Amino acid sequence: MDFQLLRSLGAANYMGGTVGEIFAAIRNTNDGDPRSWPPIFASLGDQTQTIARSVLPKHRVSARDHFQRASMYDRVAEYHDDPGHRGLASARPSITRRFLEAAKLMPGKVEVLQIRFESVWLPGYFSAARRCRRRTDF
């Protein structure tokens, strides 16, 4: 579980969580029981989405950041869930939905893609890098 904690903390550098929220969440896990993580992080995703919706009319950037974190907390919940158990089988739609809510508030356009790979279609997203002004006065 230490690896998963470090993975979640690493995502915090890229708007995938906050260190305080992650530590507050793991404080409620049962040490050594990975099954305690999914419901705790799913709940954190729900709480963070509620905040996102409440701040959306006043501050779109804060709402975007909250939606993005809510999506990642759902991803943490799904990642820790037992794939043979139907516990959080509904996590994937909320991961996508919350990410797309954040994407609508991002400065650049985010395109939803379907990428063909062998006999299946894989979901994807494309966001072009913003243009930077060229600095010529070195």
Mean pLDDT of the chain: 85
Per-residue tokens: 81: 């869930």
Task: Please give the domain boundaries of the chain with CATH numbers for all domains.
Answer: 2-106 (1.20.1440.110)
CA distance 67 to 79: 18
pLDDT tens for 17-76 read 999 999 999 888 887 677 888 889 999 999 999 999 999 999 999 999 999 999 999 988
Give yes or no for residue 85 having a pLDDT over 80. Answer: no
- Could you tell me the pLDDT band of residue 2, with boundaries at 50, 70 and 90? confident
How does pLDDT run across 86-105, given as a tens digit for each residue?
A: 555 555 678 889 999 999 99
Residue type, 34: P
- Which one has a higher pLDDT value, 121 or 136? 121
Whether 138 has a pLDDT exceeding 50, the answer reads: no
Q: What is the DSSP letter of 35?
A: G
- Strands 120-127 and 110-117 come out as antiparallel
pLDDT value of residue 13: 85
Q: Are 33 and 68 spatial neighbours (Cβ–Cβ below 8 Å)? A: no
Given a cut of 70, whether residue 135 has pLDDT beyond it is no
| pLDDT at residue number 60 | 95
Burial class (CB in 10 A: 0-12, 13-18, 19+), 42: buried
**Rounded CA separation 28/30 (Å):** 7
pLDDT score for 137: 43
